């Protein structure tokens, strides 16, 4: 009982996973020699539409043009981040936020990027 009352509270914040195909704009965070990339954005919202709008705003701020919103849009709990990245992005775990960094970003309303799968221009 005491552990439940005083233990660490699990973050039950719902996070939407929105996959995008993006291309760089002028002043992009993406190196200019790349033609585009595929990236999943992790964002909160009351609905997936609200989360997608938040992700679109972040992409624009970072100089990335969304060519396409891909399917499916999934959801997870913020507290599942470590499990998720170990299942989905095992080779990139060291380059991604830690569980506590992810939760802090999500709680503060930020959008978190997964790994970018980039390609060269055609």
pTM comes to 0.88
Separation between Cα atoms, residue 17 and residue 115, nearest integer Å: 13
- Map residue 43 onto helix, strand or coil: strand
Are 105 and 11 in contact by the 8 Å Cβ rule? The answer is: no
**Cα–Cα distance measured from residue 109 to residue 19, given in angstroms and rounded to the nearest whole number:** 18
- 7-51 pLDDT per residue, tens: 444 557 999 999 999 999 999 999 988 999 999 999 999 999 999
Which residues are paired to 68 by β-bridges? 21
């Amino acid at each position: 009982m005491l552990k439940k009352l005083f233990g660490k509270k699990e973050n039950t914040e719902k996070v939407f996973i929105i996959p995008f195909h993006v291309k760089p704009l002028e002043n992009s965070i993406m190196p200019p020699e790349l033609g585009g990339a595929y990236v999943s954005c992790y964002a909160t919202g009351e609905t997936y539409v609200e989360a997608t709008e938040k992700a679109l705003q972040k992409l624009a701020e970072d100089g990335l043009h969304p060519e396409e919103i891909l399917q499916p849009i999934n959801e997870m709990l913020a507290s599942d981040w470590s499990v998720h990245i170990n299942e989905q992005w095992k080779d990139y775990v060291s380059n991604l936020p830690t569980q506590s960094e992810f939760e802090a970003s999500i709680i503060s309303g930020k959008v978190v990027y997964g790994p970018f799968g980039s390609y060269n221009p055609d």
